[in-house]
Amino acid sequence: MSRVAALPVPPWRATVEAALARRGVVAGLKAVIVALALFPLATIAWAMLFDPAMLGANPAETIIRTTGDRTLQFLLYSLAITPLRRITGIGGLIKFRRMLGLFAFFYGVVHLSSYVGFDRFFVLDEIVKDVVKRPFITVGFAALVLMTPLAVTSTKGWIKRLGGPAWNRLHKLVYAVAILGVVHYWWLVKRDLTWPAIYGAVLAVLLAWRFMKARTVRTRTVRN
């Protein structure tokens, strides 16, 4: 007999789980996420077309920075899904992880394109020189390269083709991507490190949670 008393299940958990089991609710929530996720890009497009002053004195920098922030934020949101599922017991949250990860990749591509177009004016020589000689660009580039196979293999078809364990191993790369993203931000900032430190702290908590969870599972496996 187990000596650990089962914790009472909070009543809201069943309600949320039941809601997330309904296709309409999930589709509605996904539509809200898409609208919120695209809002910064729509704002940039609006400003470029109708009100360039909204982008400040250095529009290229504003666009590159906004899209860089979104890339890192969506990565962290997607990484937070598993801890949130485990802590709240709401398994249905998994339904949103893929789209959050894909938005991270989408913003990463827009971020790179903004840098290539607005900062380097498509001059390939300068871009290659930057990737080779400026460490923060090298690291950002590496992060985006590593994100690519994760985005490509995010479909059900690829999970089947690779098999669950191999797919899980490959997708552990997301931690390396997030670390590189934080290092990229840390290295590009010249004075005020507040924001890179905040992103770094959030990532450290998520990584620590993963590490503790993996250790608990290993210990249990060894004991059994």
In the complex, the smallest distance separating the C-beta of residue 93 from ligand HEM, rounded to whole angstroms, is: 22
User: 29 or 197, CB closer to ligand HEM?
Assistant: 197
Spatial distance between the Cα atoms of 50 and 74, rounded to a whole number of angstroms? 28
- The residue among 127, 151, 155, 152 whose CA lies nearest residue 141 is 127
Q: 92, 17 in Cβ contact below 8 A?
A: yes
Chain positions 37 to 96 lying near ligand HEM, rule: CB under 6 A, are 61, 64-65, 68-69, 71-72, 75
Chain positions 176 to 195 lying near ligand HEM, rule: CB under 6 A, are 181, 184-185, 188
User: 51 or 126, CB closer to ligand HEM?
Assistant: 126
Check residue 51 and report its DSSP letter: -
Spatial distance between the Cα atoms of 77 and 51, rounded to a whole number of angstroms? 31
Q: How many CA atoms lie within 13 A of 12 on its CB side?
A: 1
Check residue 207 for interaction with ligand HEM (CB under 6 A).
Answer: no
Binding mask 109-138 for ligand HEM (x = CB under 6 A): --xx--x---x-----------------x-
Q: Which two tokens stand for residue 6?
A: 């089962």
In the complex, the smallest distance separating the C-beta of residue 63 from ligand HEM, rounded to whole angstroms, is: 10
In the complex, the smallest distance separating the C-beta of residue 139 from ligand HEM, rounded to whole angstroms, is: 8
Alpha helices in the chain (DSSP H): 11-20, 23-50, 59-88, 97-114, 124-133, 135-152, 156-162, 164-171, 173-188, 194-223
Binding mask 136-155 for ligand HEM (x = CB under 6 A): -x--xx-xx-----------
Query: Which residues lie near ligand HEM (CB under 6 A)?
Result: 61, 64-65, 68-69, 71-72, 75, 108, 111-112, 115, 119, 137, 140-141, 143-144, 181, 184-185, 188
